[in-house]
Structure 1
Amino acid sequence: MSTLSPAAAKRVFLILSTTRWLPVGFVVGLFTLIARERGLTIEQITLYMTAQGIMVFLLELPTSGFADVLGRKPVLLVAGVVNVIAGVAYLYAHSFWQFALAAGLMGVYRALDSGPLEAWYVDTVHEREPGADVHGAMSTQGVLVGVGMGGGALVSGALVAWHPFKDSSALLLPIQVFVALCVVHLVATLVLLREKPRTEGHLRSRLAGSVRETPGVIRDGLNLLRRNTILRSLVLVELFWVTGMMAYETLMPLRLSELLGSETKAGVWMGPAAAGGWALYSAGSWLGGKLADRLGLVRAAIVGRIVNGLGVIVMGLVLGPVALVVAFLFTYTTHGLASPAYMGLMHREASSTNRATILSMGSLVMQAGGAIAGPLLGVLAARTSISTAMVVAGVISIVGFVCFLPARRREKSLPTDVEDTAVAPSQG
């Protein structure tokens, strides 16, 4: 489907992965803090964020179906436009419903963006090397994503501390930079990503054809999920993992603000903390690729998920801001540890005709799970404490390791020589 060689496609994949995640580094924790600064309660913050999960739940499979039928690039371009609009909406949000609208638009973006770039790259590789595992490239991607987000977060914290525009919130400038960098990513996608049309004819006929074919792609993906126990279990992992992730992405800035007594101080701390976290995420992602080669994909994924959940529990138990940041750094390291193995397992269960749809199923469950877990954790935090909610989230995240057991049973049933090939493939 691509006009680029696998090597060139890998370069584009890594560049666009970096430009896609660099802007996010500027706003790690800031959407939560600025909502708190503008008067929203913890319960309102965790509730408005469900708008993102709801939109992803409604649109994830239809948009991934379009990506599989119409092509990856058109969907990514539309996603980039929506992302810019969502960022502007966050800049001007002051009420609960305005924040909910911004979160909903971000959900539309996440639904459109989830899967197409990765699917485009994997399909390009498989054109020349059918069936090749790609966890090595995913590991490199994780490193670059971590570096990009870490660098963005570090600059973001410096911008909050600098606060050059005294007539506006110190948290506002990093969000403005976020919007500008999202425009850069949109332009980079337009210029760098090359793809042959998946259907013949003019755009109108291609759109009409994709509308007709998308329900079939979705139906086939759901049927595969129903028939494939391993894939179904892998997708369900996201339900447990996102509960833990809510602790270190949503509750962490609020807990830090609670300990420091100020949203602005928390914003200053979050910059270096997130930078360090994503730098260690890069190291964890690199180690995750090595761990997958040594232990195999399944066991590496299990180890990564368990230690990540333990990190969340420690975040809930510590009593000071420095200890909280240290626990946060450990948790983000383990956040990267499991990703290469997990994505490698997901790609084994997909083909070029349904890859974006299969990847989107995992994202759909994650976002839907977050839409449920977020408000529940918010209520728990309001009724008890943020620390208690963090500990509960970590325990739930750890329990999710059972979802890897079907893949592990299949792995153990294979002959030794086949198992070595299937579990620990080379990174070529």
Structure 2
Amino acid sequence: MSLISRLSIHYSVQGLSQGLLLSVITLFMVEKGMALWQVGVAFGTFSLSAALLELPLGATADLHGRIRVFRLSQLVSIVGLIIAALATSFVWVLLAMLCLGLTRALESGSVSAWEVEQIRRQGQGDRLAELLGRFQAINALSIAVGALAGGYLPTLFTELLSPLAPTSANLFVAAAITSIHVLLLPWLFREGDPVVQPEQPPTVMGQIQTAVQLARGSQALRSVLMVGFAFGLILSNMEAYWQPRLNALLDGQGYALFGWIATGYFISAAIGPALFSALSSRLSISASTTMTLLLVIVAPLLWTLAISDTVPMFALFYCLFIAVLVCINIPAQVITNEHTQDEVRSTMQSVVSLIMQLGGAVSAFGFSWLIEHLGIAVVWQSLAVGLMILAVFRCVNAWRCRPRTTLNDASLAPSQSPEA
């Protein structure tokens, strides 16, 4: 089986587990008696733990093997899911989110860096944007299937898991699928995990310093980091509060509707990158300009979502918003990979992920009080205004210095690449 097919299977299996978790990621905490501010703190714990460990673990992946680090991330995920299912207090919920944050830090940049190198070695570097879009679409579609199933599992297992919260069923099944994923890893990544050992092997700290200096010295990478912070802030807030926001619009309806809305979320997250992938192979638009255009589109969608006062309106604009938002990740990955050498690729992707997690931490800790006192809608409107300001800033900057890096130029070596 080809590399592309095996990577597609990898993202499919991973997506199923993610969908089962994400369909109840907030509900399982609410069922255990957590208040909204505690939900925010729990998500902040996830983001902060991931942020603190992003760089050292990304550097470890570069130095000691990306697939090894990814395997460890899945084992930690299994532990976190089981703790979450059995948690009976806020402290145990925080511990579960801490484990899931560690999982995020471990897997950040591991497989994604490995796949970029393998794709280029097979002479398909010119298809990088297309393939990244395809993998993201496959992952999102699998998450949608998992989320749909996750809407029914709590009801099916209510009697079997009567001492526990109904949503614990999702967490146990997600842990089982992740265990199967671990067993498949030697076949999925059979090309191996070669680690080049120079005469003087760099240290983890040296690896981090190299990546940070590279990011600071590149205008293209700095622009990605700025957008990444906003992306993490928005996405974290959305993941934490879309279920309470929807619950406020419902009138005693059950878990199934949450599963269907979550499914629509991830189907949209699959359709968006799929369309993006198809368009990127036909259009010659700079990656930086593409990010700006996506921000211009996504800001008014978030504003409209914030003021939605019926379930159909909420569902429609929620799906449209996600379909556009997730596409931002594709040009960001193209620019990041284009301006990064193989030796620090995982570390650099961890730098980007770190900034996203910091955005998530700011959202969780900084907005939990505002959510409690001003409401979800007001905070989302404020975030929409912030996105539009960022888009205007990028438009002004683009007018001064038009980027020339196109989505299909990702195979250029960093030394040959113009600034985006």
Moved more, 31-40 or 130-139: 130-139
Residue 181 in 1 paired to residue 177 in 2?
yes
Q: Which moved more, 1:39-48 or 1:245-254?
A: 245-254
Q: Give the residue type in structure 2 aligned to 1:104.
A: L
Is 1:302 aligned to residue 285 of structure 2?
A: no
User: How far apart, CA to CA, are the structure 1 residues paired with 2:256 and 2:365?
Assistant: 26
1:267 aligns with 2:255: yes
Name the counterpart of 2:346: 356
Amino acid at match of 2:119: V
Query: Is 2:408 the partner of 1:425?
Result: yes
Aligned residue for 1:3?
none
Q: 1:197 aligns with which of 188, 194, 201?
A: 194
Paired residues, what number? 406
Alpha-carbon distance change, 101 to 22 in structure 1, aligned in 2, over 3 angstroms:
same
1:123–1:38 Cα change, 3 Å? same
Q: Report how far residue 88 of structure 1 moved.
A: 0.7
SS of the residue corresponding to residue 54 of structure 1 reads: helix
Q: Where do residues 221-260 of structure 1 align in structure 2 (5 Å cutoff)?
A: 221-260=211-250
Residue 380 of structure 1 and its aligned partner are, at CA, apart by 1.1
TM-score (norm 1): 0.87
CA–CA separation in structure 1 for the residues paired with 2:126 and 2:365: 41
Alignment correspondent of 1:55: 49
Partner deviation per Cα, 1:204-252 (whole Å, 9 max, x = no partner): xxxxx97x62221111001111211221221121111222213431111
Q: Is the 8 A contact 1:285 1:337 kept in 2?
A: yes
Q: Which of 158, 164, 168 is the aligned partner of 1:172?
A: 168
How far is the alpha carbon of 1:196 from its aligned partner?
Answer: 4.3
Q: How many Å separate the matches in 2 of 1:268 and 1:318?
A: 21
Partner of 2:71: 77
The one-letter code sitting in structure 1 at the alignment partner of 2:165 is: S
Alpha-carbon displacement from aligned partner over 1:18-48 (angstroms, at most 9, x marks no partner): 2222211112241211211211111111012
Percent identity of paired positions between Structure 1 and Structure 2 = 20
- Are residues 1:287 and 2:275 paired? yes
Q: Are positions 1:16 and 2:10 aligned together?
A: yes
The letter for the 2-side match of 1:398 is M
C-alpha contact 1:153 1:272 (8 A) present in aligned 2:
yes
Structure 1, unpaired ranges of 5+: 1-6, 202-208, 414-418
Contact 1:161 1:170 in 2 (8 A): yes
How far residue 111 of structure 1 moved from its aligned partner, in angstroms, is 0.5
What is the alpha-carbon distance in structure 2 between the residues aligned to residue 173 and residue 91 of structure 1? 8
Match of 2:315 among 309, 318, 325: 325
In the alignment, the residues of structure 1 paired with residue 67 and residue 232 of structure 2 have an alpha-carbon distance, to the nearest angstrom, of 28
Give the alignment of 1:26-105 within 5 angstroms. Answer: 26-105=20-99
Alignment match, 2:203: 213
Contact 1:91/1:172 (<8 A) preserved = yes
Structure 1 residues 317-326 or 101-110, which shifts more? Answer: 317-326
Tell me the TM-score normalized by structure 2: 0.89
**Is the partner of 1:198 in helix, strand or coil?**
coil
